[in-house]
Chains A and B, each alone.
Chain A
Amino acid sequence: MIPPFETFYEAHRDEVFRFLSRRLGRQSAEDAFQETFLRALRAYPRLEHGEHLRAWVFTIASRLVVDEARRARPAAELPELTAADDRLPAFEDLAPLTDELPPKERAAVVLRYGYDLDYDEIGAALGSTEAAARQAASAGVRRLRKEHR
């Protein structure tokens, strides 16, 4: 059962806004906040269940943070891609790979390696702790290694 959007919005708006403010600063955070919940609203009828909604909305918000960072940085100032950056897979690359993972592990892997979020932020997004997020991400990676061997 998917909760009414009002309930979902009331439950998560403040922490989503705090997260966006930390990453983007207050001004950009306001636009990103509105866009996050408009995107959530667009996708809402297609949700199959009401689990992990917190991680889901943080995934949307994280994606906007990444887009905003790209947009805000003028092309001329783009740093040379380092080897480490090059190895970061985009969300689109990770999504099909992680399809089969349990939801928590999947969210942790995508947020860590797709969005480069810190474990404390992932912990916040998943409603658990930094340690649990680290554990979920490494369990996910182990599982992926096993599956793709």
Chain B
Amino acid sequence: MIASSALCGSIMFQSEGKPLWSLVMVLEARPVQSELLKELRFPIVPENILRKRNSLKRELLAQPNLIPTRIAILGGSTTTEVKSMLELFLLAQGIQPTFYESGYNCYYEDVLFENQALWKFKPEVVLIHTTWRNISEFPESMEDEAEVEQRVRREVERYQSLWEKIHADLGALIIQNNFDFPSLRPLGNAEAFESSGRVNFVMRMNGEFSAYARNHTRFLINDVHYLSAQVGLRAWNSPTYWYNFHMAVSPTATVALAQNVAAIVKAVYGRSKKCLVLDLDNTLWGGVVGDDGVQNLILGRDHPVGEAFQDFQLYVKNLQRRGVILAVCSKNDIDVAREGFSHPDSVLKLDDFSAFKANWSPKPANIREIAAALNIGLDSMVFVDDNPAERALVADQLPDVATPEVGSDVTRFAEILEAEHYFEVQKVVRDDLSRSSYYSLNAQRITYQANFSDYGEFLASLEMTAEIAPFCSLYLERITQLINKTNQFNLTTRRYTSAEVEAVAQDPMSITLYGRLADRFGDNGLVTVLIGRAINEALEMDLWLMSCRVLNREMELAMFDALVEQCQARGIRKIVGVYIPSKKNSMVADHYRRLGFTAGEESSESRQVWHYDVFQAKPVSTPYISRGTPSQSVAL
């Protein structure tokens, strides 16, 4: 549950007849922990939420600075409960939805026949709430494979026509339900493999939907196939609620569905967590390494509990592989703590961790130091510890850190982490896969720097090269991710959906640049973006941000060089820099002054304006970064 404690607002733009974009500012968030709102945390009792929804909504709406967003729910069945529950779980994420709801089972007609109310609503997100009951091409009994394949194609094309129209005319992000299984199996187990089996048909349709999601942007799957299995088909598909209310998903299962959709939207807005901080003893292995010694730790397939610890380590390793940063926070002597990872059955190794704190200091202090070393916010962290006293202390002293009540049963740790959707991603972005190594390489750079007394010599020795170019489709996901996650080196803290990034990249009145930075230690990846909008002969900076990974490398000077070149080539005479102060971006208050801008008279406390004469001012560039050729990419 999130409450923002700083300025938040919504700005609407219209540019020459193109769809309205909404730009959203998100500033600091602090969690709300009332007893009532804990109903929305694990373990969720759906009946309690269905009964207490009015009080929950009142309390959630009282949070300041909610992010407004427009969501259209296009239903293939009754969607009243979906809307009601989705509103609660979005509010719990600090997102305040306004809804458009299609008429009953009008998901197809509303789009294909351009329902004026939907078109006027201009949704930012479209949830297509369809289920197996909306499949119109289920095979007849004993149809052959060729006929069934044609049915699959027709059904897929029907949905594709919806998606393409939504993208072309509304530009919205689509969240499409895949399909749950029907409740009944007339062919019995043969449903799973016979061409005419409905179970088989659902699996094929889901495969087609997944392929579309892999190959298209602004299209995500709400995995009801998985959710219905998790809830159980009998609880998911209730005949009572279908025949009485035409609800395809029972009310209690709708709670799980809504929480899942809210997690997807949360990820789109960059609110997922980045770092998992782990205790060691009885969290990653059974036993106390300092007392029992490595050889007596309970870890590995020879022991049921040991197998469970090993599986939890494997789960954590998989998180790390797809970009979650791992850190250790343990009450141990550091050498003893490290030794635990030498156990032959330890899946996790020391170099999987980007930070390692093992000492006898209080854990809240250690977690603060981990956040500072990694340059991430406390609200990006999740802390897992089997010890309830340690969890309570961290929860009390660091309320921004998510501290789930994992209990002490290792067989449930992963399930509880997943239940809270902490690390939900839109898509796995290539840069995510290397995130841990970025932090580890940075630690090497910091150690290397200690060899130099002159900082300029250090920068020169890094042999840095930058790739700076206009936005391209290859990096769309990473650019969107960076825009929505970066808080400190961020001049305006404006957020963009991926649809908006794509639109601005194609706008001839805008200048967009991304920057990648590599050095002798390795590739930092895509670390900075800027967006400027041309108004007459001036370019107003809408967005300029940079990952803290590359602070003090003068990458912002290299980006500014490239920006000035672009302006000169287009005859833009002035750059207008905008700085909007937030609680987290004070480090860039001086950014434009250092680049040689002069303060504008139109500045106010909440919005500072700076001016730069492109053709008159003396350029400020960096001798330490050479510009490389952009990789093969497709312009947006």
On whether the two chains bind one another, the answer is no
Interface residues of A (CB under 8 A from B): none
